[in-house]
A and B are shown apart, each in its own frame.
Chain A
Amino acid sequence: MLSEGDILFSSLLSSRSLFWPPGLILLFYLVFYGFLAALFSFTMWVMLQTLNDEVPKYRDQIPSPGLMVFPKPVTALEYTFSRSDPTSYAGYIEDLKEFLKPYTLEEQKNLTVCPDGALFEQKGPVYVACQFPISLLQACSGMNDPDFGYSQGNPCILVKMNRIIGLKPEGVPRIDCVSKNEDIPNVAVYPHNGMIDLKYFPYYGKKLHVGYLQPLVAVQVSFAPNNTGKEVTVECKIDGSANLKSQDDRDKFLGRVMFKITARA
C-alpha cells in the first residue's frame, strides 16, 4: 500500500500539470478556497441568524428529563467506600461539596423565595430563580455532617433531574428510590418522600434564568455497622407526574437512574 502511495505522490508532485506553474496554482487555490471559506462563513452566519439566543429552536429531542447522580461517576455508576478509610471516600465528598457550592446560603441569598406547590411561570423580561434551601436535604445537606454520612457507613448520593427549557411537570412529581437488595432495604430520601416542588419549573434557559437552581433529591443508604463488605443497588425513578417518563427501553437514564454502592470493611 505504501509503495502505491509513493507512486501517487511522485505523480502528484511531478511538474507535468497541476502543480506547475506553482505561482498560478497557489493563487488559484488561494482565491478558490478563500471564496469557499467566505461562502461557508456567510451561510453559517445566515443560519445562526435564524436562531434565538434564549431558547433553542426545537426541543423535540429532549421531551422528558433524564436523571443524574452525584458524586459524578467516573467510569460506571458504582461507588465503593470504606468507612474506616477516609481516603476511600474523600473524592466523593469533594465532588459533592463542589456540586453543592451554588446551593450554599451565601450563594442563594439573592434568589427569590417562591410559593410552594405550584408552577412558577414568569413573563419576563427579568426572570428570577427560586431558592432551594439546602436544609431540605437534611442529613445529606452537608451542613451537619461534612462527610455526608460516609464515615458512618450511611453514604449520601444526590439525584438531579436534567434541566429542560419550558418543561412543566404535571401532577406531583417525586423521586422514588428503592433498594434492589432485600437485606438492605434502608434507603432514605430527602426531602420527605423525594418530593420535587413545582415552583422550580419551568426553566427559562441559561441566558434568561440566571442563577437557576434545579431541585435536588438526596438518597441515603444505611449499612448496618457490622454489615461490611456489602453492596446494594438502588434505583431511583421519577414518579407522580404523567408527562415525566421513567420508562424507556433504549434510554436507561430517562427519568430513572440506577447505581451501586459497595461498602468495604
Chain B
Amino acid sequence: MCFPLTTSWRAFHQTPEIYSVELSGTKDIVKTDKGDGKEKYRGLKNNCLELKKKNHTEEFQKELHLDDHKLSNRELEKKYGTDIITGLSSTRAAELLARDGPNSLTPPKQTPEIVKFLKQMVGGFSVLLWVGAFLCWIAFGIEYSSNKSASLNNVYLGSVLVLVVIFTGIFAYYQEAKSTNIMSSFKKMIPQQALVIRDSEKKTIPSEHLVVGDIVEVKGGDQIPADIRVLSSQGCRVDNSSLTGESEPQPRSSEFTHENPLETKNICFYSTTCLEGTVTGMVINTGDRTIIGHIASLASGVGNEKTPIAIEIEHFVHIVAGVAVSIGILFFIIAVSMNYRVLDSIIFLIGIIVANVPEGLLATVTVTLSLTAKRMAKKNCLVKNLEAVETLGSTSIICSDKTGTLTQNRMTVAHLWFDNQIFVADTSENHSNQVFDQSSRTWASLSKIITLCNRAEFKPGQENVPIMKKAVIGDASETALLKFSEVILGDVMAIRKRNRKVAEIPFNSTNKFQLSIHETDDPHDKRFLMVMKGAPERILEKCNTIMINGEEHPLDESTAKAFHTAYMELGGLGERVLGFCHLYLPAHEFPETYKFDTDAMNFPTSNLCFVGLLSMIDPPRSTVPDAVTKCRSAGIKVIMVTGDHPITAKAIAKSVGIISANSETVEDIARRLSIAVEQVNKWDAKAAVVTGMELKDMSSEQVDEILANYQEIVFARTSPQQKLIIVEGCQRQDAVVAVTGDGVNDSPALKKADIGVAMGIAGSDAAKNAADMVLLDDNFASIVTGVEEGRLIFDNLKKTIAYTLTKNIAELCPFLIYIIVGLPLPIGTITILFIDLGTDIIPSIALAYEKAESDIMNRKPRHKKKDRLVNQPLAVYSYLHIGLMQALGAFLVYFTVYAQEGFLPRTLINLRVEWEKDFVNDLEDSYGQEWTRYQRAYLEWTGYTAFFVGILVQQIADLIIRKTRRNSIFQQGAFRNKVIWVGIASQIIIGLVLSYGLGSVTALSFTMLRAQYWFVAVPHAILIWVYDEVRKLFIRLYPGSWWDKNMYY
C-alpha cells in the first residue's frame, strides 16, 4: 500500500488546506488519532499558494511511497533487494549509488558566480549610473553627427560611470564572497561516516555513499545517516528536534506503532541524532528523497524579500532621477526659448541629467556597508548580504528560538529541595558560585546519590578543560548532574571508584527510574548502598521515610504535602524535576558476596528513604536578559518561538524578560481571580503563551489579532514550519521581522523573514544558506549589537547621502548659469569627476565612523514607510540650502580669478559664444588686452580649478556639519571621529596634488592656482557651519515646531 503521505503530497497543489498535514499523514488519521505532535507538522498551509506559483507542484506530485514502516522484514528485504544479515553486495550498492546519486542534501540551487557578480551591477544605484552613461554616449553621438570634432568629454564621462559601476560591483562581490568563505569554513570538515553491512562484512563508509537497502548500525551520539527503517534497537532514543521541534528524546524500536511514518517508532530520520542506545536499520530513502530533504527543498520556494535598504536606495534613486529630469526639462524649455538650437538644447538636457548623478555614492555606500559588515563580524554577526547590514537596524520584531539562542543549550541544575527547603543553584555559564547550604547531612547523602546514580562520564583527555566545557558521554540530565557534582565535590570519577558499582538498572521509560547498587567507601561499613533517581512521584511511591537534617523520619502526610508543594513549584518554573532516594541494604541479608541480579530483582525496591529533589533547566545565557531589555527599550518586540513545552517556554521567557515580571497571561489572571480562563477578558492580559495546537486552529485574522494586541508573546510547542505563519503574521503588521533559527526546518522562515539569522555553531547548512546573517556565537545578545550597528549605519548613510547631494547643486549651477547667462564654463566635467570620485570619497566614507548622536537603542525602530533614508527635508536642505550656499561660494572664487586676470563679471556675461570660437584669437578683456583662444582656455581651466577649490573648501564645512543632524558639533565632539579628519586631510592633499602636482597635465584641465584663492570661499564655509549650527539649535529648542518638521532630515 502506498502510504497516505503520497496523497497529501499530491493533493497539496489542489487544496491549500492539505499541506499542513502532508507530513503528518492524512486528515482521516488526524481524526482518529488525537495524539500529541501532529500539530507540529502543521505549518506552511498559508504558503501553499505561494509555493504553487514557484512551480514546485511537479516535485510534490512525485509519488512518495513511505509504507516501509508497515512492512515486515521479509517484505523489506524483497522490496529493496537486500539481505538483513549479509547486506547489499558492493556491486549492487555501486549500481544503486550511480542510479540515486550520493546520500546528501542537494544544496539549494547555487546562483552561478557570474550571475551573482552581474547582480551587483544592476541594483538600484547602478541603474542610475548605467542610464547616465548611456545618456552621455547618446549626447556624444548627437554632437558628433553634427560636428566631427566634438569634445570627447561625454565619452569619458560615460566610460567613467561604467567603470564606477564595474569596480563597485567587483568590490561588493568580493566582500560578499569573503563572508561566504567564512561561512563555508564552518562546515564540518570531517565527512560523516556510517557503519554499514555489505558483502556480509561490517564496513565504515562515508555516509554519502549509502544507498537504499543498506543495513546500517547507528550508536548513541551519531547522526542518523539516512531515513532508516529500524530492524532492531537497544534502548535507542533519538532527538527529532531538528525535524519536529520536539525536544524530548523519542524512543525507537522495530515495532510498527503508528500509521503515520513520522509518528511510528520504527523509522529514524535523516539528520536527527541518536542520543543513546544502538539501532540497526535498513536505509529506505537517501539524500533529497528523505523527509528532511523534502522540507529543505521548500525553502527555495519561499521568495526572498527585498531588503529595506534596497527599497530606500530605490526611493533615493527616484528622487535623484526626479530632480534631474525636472531640472533638465525646465532648462531645456528655457534653452529652446532662448533660441538655442534644439539639438544643443537636447545636449544641455542630457548634460543636466547626467550632472545630477552622484557618481561616487554607489562606491561610498558599498564601502560603508562593508565597513559595518566587518565591524559586525567582529561582534560575531556575519553578514552574508551587504544590504542586510541595515535590516537589523530597522527590525521591529525578533522571532527568536529558545534553545541555544536564548539559553545555554545545556541542562543545568537550577534548584534543589531537601530538608523541606528549596535551594537555588548557580546557573551562570561557569557555575562558579554555589552558595546553598552544604553543611546539612542530607546534602551529603543527596550528593552521594547524584554522584553514584549516574552513568555519564567525562570523555578522557580533558584534564585542562574547565569543567563546564568538558565533553561528556551521556544524556543531557545526567551530564548536568555530573558537572554539578564535579563542581561541588571535586573528582567524581574517583568517588565512583571508591564506591564500586555492583549492579545497575539503567533508566527506561516504563519504570521511569534508574538504580544502582554500590559498595560504600567506608571500610568499616560492609553494607551495600542502593541509590535511585527518577520521576519524583515514582520515587516517592517507593519511599516510606524521608531524610531531614540527616535523620530518617517517617513519611507522613505533612512531609508528603511539602514534597508536592516543592515539586509543583519547581515544575511550575518549567524545570525538569528528579527525585532521589537511597537505601542501605542490611549487611546480614546482603553479605559482601551477594550476587545481585537486575533481571530477577533480588533486592528491595520499596520502603526506601527519600532524600531530595533536584530540578534542571536549560538556563538562559547570562547576557540575554540584558539584551532583551535593550531590545525592549529599542522598541523591538521579542517573540519567543519554541518547540518546547509552554511551561518551560514561559519560565525561560520570564527569566529573560520576554515576559516581564509584572505582566500576566490570561491563565495567570484566571488563577489570580480563581475564575475560568474563558471568563477572563483576554485583552486584560499583556502577555500570551500560544501553543502550536492553538495556532493551528487560528485564522490569519486571529493570528494578526494576537500579534497586534499582546506586547509579550511566547509561541510554544510550535513546529519549525509554524514559524512561517508567525513571520507572515508579523509582516502583515508592517513590521520588519528578524527570525533566528538553526534547523533545516527553519529555512523557509529564515528566508521569508526580512532578515534571517542563522546560528553559526548549532545551525544546519540549510539554515545558514537561507539566512542573511549568521551569529557566530549563537548568542542572542549579538543580535542586539547588530541592531545597534544597523541603526547607526542608517543614520550615517543619511549623513553620507546628504553630504554627497549637497555639492551636486554646486556642480550643476555652473552649467545652468553657463546656459542662461553665457559665462565661460565655470567647471568642467572632468573636474567634477575629480570631486565626486576623488576628494569626496574618503570624507563620505569617514561619516560611516561617526558615533551615534543619541542613544539609538532608546528610540523606536524606524517605520519602513515613513522614516525614509532620503526624505524631503534632506533633499531640500541639501539642494536648496547648503548646496546653494556652496554654489555661491564657489562662484565667488571663480569670479575673483577671472576679475583679477582681467575679465570683470559684467564682461563675462554673454561672452560664452565668442569665448568658445576657435578662430577668435584677439578676444578683448575688460582692460583692453587681447587673448588668444588657448590663453582663454588656460584661464578657463584656472577657473575650473578655482571653482573646484571653492567646492572643496566648502565641502570641508559640509563634512563637519554632517557629523550631526540634531546635536551641535560641540556636543558630538569635533575630534571624536578621527577618520573625519583623515577625510579632510585627504581632501586637501588630493586638491593640492591635482592643482600643483598635475597642474601641467592638459588633459586634466587643472592649473596651478594662486594660494590665496584657496581662502576666498572660507567665509562661505564658515557661514555654512554657522547656519547649520543655528538650524540644529532651533531644532533642539523647538522640537515638533515648523522648523523642526522642515529642517530635520
Contact = CB atoms under 8 A, between A and B. Distances in A.
Interface of A: 1-2, 4-9, 11-12, 16-18, 24-25, 29, 32, 36, 39-40, 43-44, 47-48, 50-51, 54-62, 65-68, 73-77, 160, 162-165, 203, 205-207, 209, 212, 248, 250-254, 257
Contacts of B1023: 39
Interface stretch (B293-301, B319-327, B691-699, B975-983): B319-327
Nearest to A53: B927
Given A48-B899, A61-B935, A67-B921, A4 B1046 contact: no
Contacts of B880: 29
A25 B932 CA distance: 49
A36 B318 contact: no
Interface in B860-904: 872-873, 876, 880-881, 884-885, 888, 891-892, 895-896, 899-902, 904
Contacts, number: 157
A244 B810 CA distance: 40
Contact of B325 (A4, A29, A257): A4
13 contacts: A1-B324, A4-B321, A18-B1046, A25-B1046, A36-B885, A56-B901, A61-B939, A62-B931, A67-B921, A74-B919, A75-B919, A163-B929, A205-B928
B318 A44 contact: no
Contacts of A164: 929-930
B896 A47 contact: yes
Contacts of A16: 872
A205 B892 contact: no
Contact of A43 (B892, B902, B929): B892
A66 B931 contact: yes
A56 B900 contact: yes
A103 B466 CA distance: 108
Interface residues on B, range: 35 or more
Given A5-B329, A43-B1019, A251-B934, A62 B876 contact: no
Given A1-B131, A12-B872, A75-B919, A252 B930 contact: no
Closest 3 CB pairs of A and B: A8-B322, A206-B928, A66-B932
B124 to A, nearest CB: 12
A185 to B, nearest CB: 26
B938 interface: yes
A165 B928 contact: yes
B1046 A17 contact: yes
Contacts of A212: 928
A8 B929 contact: no
Contact of B927 (A68, A207, A254): A207
Contacts of A17: 872-873, 1045-1046
Contacts of B808: none
Interface centre among A24, A55, A68 (most CB of B within 10 A): A68
A62 B938 CA distance: 10
Contacts of A56: 900-902, 925-927, 929
A9 B322 contact: yes
Contacts of A40: 888, 891-892
B922 interface: yes
B905 interface: yes
B1002 interface: yes
Interface in B618-659: none
B970 interface: no
B927 A205 contact: yes
Nearest to A63: B935
B930 A253 contact: no
Interface centre among B885, B930, B1010 (most CB of A within 10 A): B930
Interface of B: 131, 317-319, 321-326, 329, 353, 872-873, 876, 880-881, 884-885, 888, 891-892, 895-896, 899-902, 904-905, 919, 921-922, 924-935, 938-939, 942, 1002, 1010, 1016, 1019-1020, 1023, 1042, 1045-1046
Nearest to A162: B930
Interface centre among A57, A162, A205 (most CB of B within 10 A): A162
A204 B889 CA distance: 33
Contacts of A206: 926-928
Contact of A9 (B131, B326, B924, B930): B326
B1025 to A, nearest CB: 15
Given A7-B322, A75-B919, A251-B934, A44 B939 contact: no
Contacts of B319: 8
B925 A61 contact: no
A172 B40 CA distance: 107
B874 to A, nearest CB: 11
A67 B935 CA distance: 12
Contact of B1042 (A24, A39, A48, A68): A24
Contacts of B876: 18
Contact of A1 (B325, B873, B1016): B325
Given A61-B942, A162-B922, A162-B929, A18 B872 contact: yes
Nearest to B892: A43
B1002 A250 contact: yes
Nearest to B1043: A28
Contact of A251 (B925, B935, B942): B935
B318 A66 contact: no
B699 to A, nearest CB: 36
Contacts of A43: 892, 1019-1020
A43 B932 CA distance: 30
B932 A253 contact: yes
B148 to A, nearest CB: 14
B872 A253 contact: no
Given A75-B919, A162-B930, 14 more contacts: A1-B324, A4-B321, A4-B322, A40-B888, A54-B927, A61-B901, A65-B930, A66-B931, A73-B919, A76-B919, A162-B922, A165-B929, A203-B929, A253-B921
Nearest to A251: B934
A47 B895 contact: yes
Contacts of A51: 899-900, 904
